Amino acid sequence: MTWDITGMGAVACNGTTPSEVFDALCAGRDGHGPLQVFDHEKYRARNAYEITDRALPGVDEPGRATRWLVDAIDQALADAGHPRDLTDVPVLVGTTLQEQRSAELWWRHGSALDPADLHFGTALREEYGAARTYTFANACAASLYALAMATDLIELGEADTVVVAGTDAIGESAFGTLDRVQNDVPDALRPFDRSHRGMLMGEGAVAVVLTRAAAPGRPVHARLRGVGVNCDAQHSTAPDPEGITRVLRDAYRLAGAAPEEIDLVMLHGSGTPKNDSTEATVLSRIFPPGSGPLMTAVKSMTGHTLGGSGLLSLTMAVLALQRGQVPPVLGLTDPIEEAEGLRLVRGHAATAPELTLAQVDAFGFGGINAAAILEAAR
């Protein structure tokens, strides 16, 4: 069984629509910059990949993650030609921090806060009449977990159409925690390069409309062939190569695809030495050195957008399949040893008109792993 992706929406630090983000990636434009509202003196890391949308420079605002979520869903519904009435359409949202930043602003600065607004379902009911909303906090794999749940709902006959989304705004407590637990101090996120020092957070939201079958005459962006998920629980933070291998094999099985059929891999590429080396090692065992699929990592330009990162990579994979173009891994000049046999796109975007199947990786803390397989709609 396959599922049709009929609508997409996204906002990130380097674009306000999927097309804008993809064009920026292909041009090598990132959203990296100095911290906009956090006190620079409190942290070793001084940069992030933030969205510049606050009304007053240097003054933070509550509700940004929800605002972007609504924006991304609006885009996806308009793109799919679907009405804004989601009374009978499930909405599944992947996130890591939800509206944690709003709670911080209430606690520290007395910003207005209605506890109901900490749950995305409140805004989704108000905006779309959505009665079936679900939030998944499966770390960095959250939005792909939500995507897997959407395929189950459709396959079981519980829905014909599902909206799947992901959103996160950077919270200061999360930023500070990451700043203290990373051994090195990254000034930028540089996946698979020997200069990588760790992960930096990004912001944004993404949404797709997934259907059993597109309505007659409606365009289809791509077809989802399968999503593999697991939780190996081998370590609280370190990735487990066996758990990642199992989830990839499961994704291939569900998609009815062999590894040698994959043309493009959207890497998790978090920029942390352990994650990069583990992902590269696993893929080097699966794909023949030097002749496997093209590979890229969008976090090199968007930062790590946390719960929505997997779905953001997926929408970028859709556009790569449509346009026959693959963005580079920004800043990759000296690949780590484990990645030397992989076909990492670097320097400038690659032209690849015959792309058919794409793999999307998302691996989170606690061994929460997910992988999706997409097929070009031709």
Residue 183's CB: how many other CB atoms inside 10 A? 8
CA–CA dist 128, 139 (Å, integer):
26
Can you list the alpha helix ranges (DSSP code H) found in the chain? Answer: 18-27, 64-80, 100-109, 120-128, 142-155, 172-181, 241-255, 273-286, 299-302, 309-323
Does the annotation count 26 as an active-site position? no
Burial class (CB in 10 A: 0-12, 13-18, 19+), 132: middle
CA–CA dist 145, 240 (Å, integer):
18
CA–CA dist 293, 291 (Å, integer):
7
Instruction: From the candidates 82, 140, 196, 221, give the one annotated as an active-site residue.
Output: 140
CA–CA dist 116, 16 (Å, integer):
27
Instruction: From the candidates 32, 82, 221, 304, give the one annotated as an active-site residue.
Output: 304
Residues 212, 160 contacting (CB under 8 angstroms):
yes
Does the annotation count 268 as an active-site position? yes
- Partners of residue 296 on adjacent β-strands: 266
Does the annotation count 32 as an active-site position? no
CA–CA dist 83, 73 (Å, integer):
11
Q: What token pair was written down for 325?
A: 């173009």
CA 1, chain centre distance (Å): 24
- Partners of residue 223 on adjacent β-strands: 4, 375
CA–CA dist 356, 48 (Å, integer):
34
State whether residue 376 is helix, strand or coil: strand
- Tokens 């691996």 correspond to 363
Residues 140, 70 contacting (CB under 8 angstroms):
no
Query: Which amino acid is located at 205 in the chain?
Result: A
**Residues with catalytic roles:** 140, 268, 304
